[in-house]
Amino acid sequence: MKGKFSWQEGFGAFTYGQSQVDAVFKYISNQEAHHQKKTFKEEYMDMLAKFQVQYDEKYLFEWIEY
């Protein structure tokens, strides 16, 4: 129901180690250019596959593409 508050049923998180901070910083700094080549949805789905994350599609959020 639109407009009704409710808590989400699922969640997701990715972590990176201290040795990867520079690479993560560089990625974030270049995110706008990066997303001109690949949408957030494409990248997110690629990350799930890359890290072999099992998921239930009912927990994937609705995609907003601009």
Structural domain spans, the chain: 19-59
41 or 66, higher pLDDT: 41
Q: Residue 22: its pLDDT value, please?
A: 94
Tell me the pLDDT tens digit for each residue of 6-52.
777 767 777 889 999 999 899 889 888 877 888 888 888 898 999 89
Which pTM was predicted? Answer: 0.53
C-alpha–C-alpha distance, residues 50 and 44, integer Å: 10
Closest CA to 34 of 19, 23, 48: 23
Please give the pLDDT value at position 2: 66
